[in-house]
Amino acid sequence: RLLEMSVEVERKFLCNADTLKTLEEIGASVRQHQFHDQYYDSPKFDLTLRDAWLRKRKGCWELKCPTTEKTSGEQSKAAALCTRYKEITNLPEIQQRVTKIMKDNCEDTETSLSLEGEAWLSKMNLVCFAEFTTVRRSFVLEEEGVQIDLDQADFGYCVGEIEVLVPEGGDVQSALEKIERTAQKLGLSGDQRIEGKMNVYLKRYNPKHYEKLMSQHIL
């Protein structure tokens, strides 16, 4: 159960030809793969307005939720540039959490976890609101546990990510430091948060959903 829940600490960055060159010089391209993501929410955006992101990738369900823990470096620049999300991959646990969020918003949602196949989606009134394919090149550096991904989404957006997976209750502060050191090695400048794929996707294809999330400071 513990292995199924970890915290993903991540910093996104703008990727250009120089970044790729630097990466090739200092790291090793481990692999390139492709995946198709389908994101689900209710028509009233109950999940995403709570910053909860339910998706299916390569046949597996994942739920990303905000973490509650605070670290001492909370105010640091490094922390401000990073996002932290709990990643849940156990389906019954995902269904429980989704049910809870929906219940908080609507009294008459019934918990029913013994549904066949994907019937739970319609039972919980969940529909696909975004789907896209990503080609991802992943690099690992000597620094233990740091992965760098260069993502090219099929709707024409490229973004880089430096990420560290921390087991629940693990050391988030040292993950932030690893990410900061990696950003320096890559020569990343600037102190602005870079838009993720979902930002760009929603802005373009579902501006109402995008505006709603922006107005609630979710994106």
Of 50, 64, 103, 123, the residue at the interface with ligand V4E (CB under 6 A) is 64
Contacts of 112 (CB under 8 A, 6+ apart): 120, 123
- Main-chain phi, psi angles of 25, to 5 degrees: -70, -40
Which residues between 188 and 207 bind ligand V4E (CB under 6 A)? Answer: 193, 196-198
In whole angstroms, give the CA distance from residue 157 to residue 160. 10
Pairing of strands 157-167, 146-153: antiparallel
Q: How far is CA 37 from CA 10, 84, 129, 134, in A?
A: 18, 20, 11, 8
Which residues between 90 and 149 bind ligand V4E (CB under 6 A)? Answer: none
Residue showing the smallest CB distance to ligand V4E in the complex: 198
Of 19, 23, 49, 53, the residue at the interface with ligand V4E (CB under 6 A) is 53
Of the two residues 31 and 108, which places its CB atom closer to ligand V4E in the complex? 31
Rounded to a whole number of angstroms, the minimum distance from the CB of residue 25 to ligand V4E is 24
Rounded to a whole number of angstroms, the minimum distance from the CB of residue 110 to ligand V4E is 27
In whole angstroms, give the CA distance from residue 126 to residue 53. 12
- Give the helix ranges, DSSP H, for the chain: 17-26, 77-80, 91-105, 119-123, 172-185, 197-205, 207-215
Of the two residues 13 and 120, which places its CB atom closer to ligand V4E in the complex? 13
Rounded to a whole number of angstroms, the minimum distance from the CB of residue 18 to ligand V4E is 21
Of the two residues 163 and 180, which places its CB atom closer to ligand V4E in the complex? 163
Which residues between 156 and 175 bind ligand V4E (CB under 6 A)? Answer: 161, 163
Q: State the helix-helix crossing angle for 197-205 and 207-215, rounded to 10 degrees.
A: 120
Of the two residues 124 and 159, which places its CB atom closer to ligand V4E in the complex? 159
Rounded to a whole number of angstroms, the minimum distance from the CB of residue 16 to ligand V4E is 18
Of the two residues 108 and 132, which places its CB atom closer to ligand V4E in the complex? 132
In whole angstroms, give the CA distance from residue 34 to residue 162. 18
In whole angstroms, give the CA distance from residue 148 to residue 29. 9
Contacting residues toward ligand V4E, per CB under 6 A: 10, 12, 53, 64, 83, 85, 161, 163, 193, 196-198, 219
